[in-house]
Amino acid sequence: MAGVLTVAGTAVAPGTRVRAAIEVRGCGYAVRMPVTVINGRGDGPVAAVIAGLHGAEYPCIETTIRLARRLDPHQVRGALIIVHVVNEPAFYGRTAYVNPLDGLNPNRVFPGSATGSISERMVRRVWEDVIAPADYLIDLHGGDIVEALVPFAAYTPSGNAAVDDVARRMAWAYGIPRVLEAEIPGSSMLAAARAGKPAVLAEAGGGGLLDEPSVATLLEGTERALAVAGVLPAAGVPSVSIGTPTKMIWHRAAHQGMFYPSIKVGDRVERGQVLGRICDVYGDVLTEVRSEASGDIIFLVTCPPVSPGDPLLAVGGT
């Protein structure tokens, strides 16, 4: 990128940081997504950093706030487009997983639709205004308001070896020992990978909390990933060590009732081990949840009511 960069109708001169907004109207709603654009002085790539596709994941949103405030435009080579909260209705509505306006999970409808429901329209604008003009995507998440989680990073193989090499190094640059190779239908990461862009997802925190260790994990990791992408200087950044990718095995509820886990997030478990039970609201046991794999508990639903198909937990193993 060289020269003036225009994002969502706002022109950003080289060497400046400008606040903008993506406004989406349709289906009887008006939604506003806050954006910061940092246009560097020199030529270079454009990176998109987005957070709050799930609006109750606060450490990732805080990460984008601090990143936008602390980066000096003169440090940036190319440009950074940061969306602080995509799913603003869920953010102010304290809603897990979905956009409360239409009940859709925004990270399952990429690349969106200009004529669809409000989540699809919002995602379409994020795609057109932020991700499509970028060379790299970083999508920040965490455990949702009903989940505890240990940090992980992920990337989606694109089929292009050069793109995948960069995405893999960006994911491992977070310094988190769990990196997944994941293909999540309708996710920002899959849509970006299919468009030939190195794309990563990083998750930390959960339970509706804003905690400093999770913010530090995401903020420092994002700066290292941006250094791998060439948008921030690589000087002083430790070299990235690549390990074995982790597989994530989701476990879902088979019944409606109260979920009583018998393990904590981060615990080591063995295949076949009882991880908890679901009881009806009279206390009768409906089912025991047994581990389908050996590994670590990566996320765990900590809010008791569950319905068939709801996620309960995921085991990460290699």
CB of 69 to Zn ion, least distance (A): 23
- What is the sign, positive or negative, of the torsion defined by CA atoms of 66, 188, 92, 304? negative
Assign residue 295 a region: left if phi > 0, alpha if psi is -120 to 50, beta otherwise? left
| Interacting span for Zn ion (CB under 5 A) from 16-24, 115-123, 133-141, 289-297 | 133-141
Q: Is 168 in the site for Zn ion (CB under 5 A)?
A: no
Q: Is 299 in the site for Zn ion (CB under 5 A)?
A: no
What stretches of the chain adopt beta strand conformation (E)?
Answer: 5-7, 10-12, 16-26, 29-39, 42-51, 77-83, 136-141, 147-149, 152-155, 179-181, 199-203, 247-252, 257-261, 268-269, 274-279, 285-290, 295-301, 305-306, 311-317
Measured from the CB atom, is 65 or 258 closer to Zn ion?
65
CB of 54 to Zn ion, least distance (A): 3
Name which position in 8, 45, 47, 54 contacts Zn ion (CB under 5 A).
54
Measured from the CB atom, is 167 or 189 closer to Zn ion?
189
Q: Is 84 in the site for Zn ion (CB under 5 A)?
A: no
Residue 137 φ/ψ, nearest 5 degrees: -130, 135
Name which position in 77, 124, 125, 141 contacts Zn ion (CB under 5 A).
141
Distance of CA 242 to the CA centre of its chain: 20
Measured from the CB atom, is 39 or 87 closer to Zn ion?
87
User: Which H or E run contains 273?
Assistant: none
Measured from the CB atom, is 34 or 45 closer to Zn ion?
34
| Interacting span for Zn ion (CB under 5 A) from 135-143, 159-167, 175-183, 235-243 | 135-143
| Interacting span for Zn ion (CB under 5 A) from 48-56, 66-74, 128-136, 154-162 | 48-56
The amino acid present at 198, given as its one-letter code, is: P
CB of 53 to Zn ion, least distance (A): 6
| Interacting span for Zn ion (CB under 5 A) from 25-33, 47-55, 217-225, 237-245 | 47-55
Distance CA 150, CA 105 (A): 22
**Rg, Å, the chain Cα set:** 20
Measured from the CB atom, is 47 or 90 closer to Zn ion?
90
Measured from the CB atom, is 135 or 147 closer to Zn ion?
147
Query: How does 37-70 read in b/e, with b if 16+ C-beta sit within 10 Å?
Result: bbbbeeebbbbbbbbbbbbbbbbbbbbbbebbee
Measured from the CB atom, is 61 or 228 closer to Zn ion?
61
Q: Beta strand pairing status for 147-149 and 16-26? A: unpaired
N-term to C-term CA, the chain: 39
Q: Is 197 in the site for Zn ion (CB under 5 A)?
A: no
| Interacting span for Zn ion (CB under 5 A) from 46-54, 109-117, 127-135, 214-222 | 46-54
Measured from the CB atom, is 56 or 134 closer to Zn ion?
56
Binding region for Zn ion (CB under 5 A):
54, 141
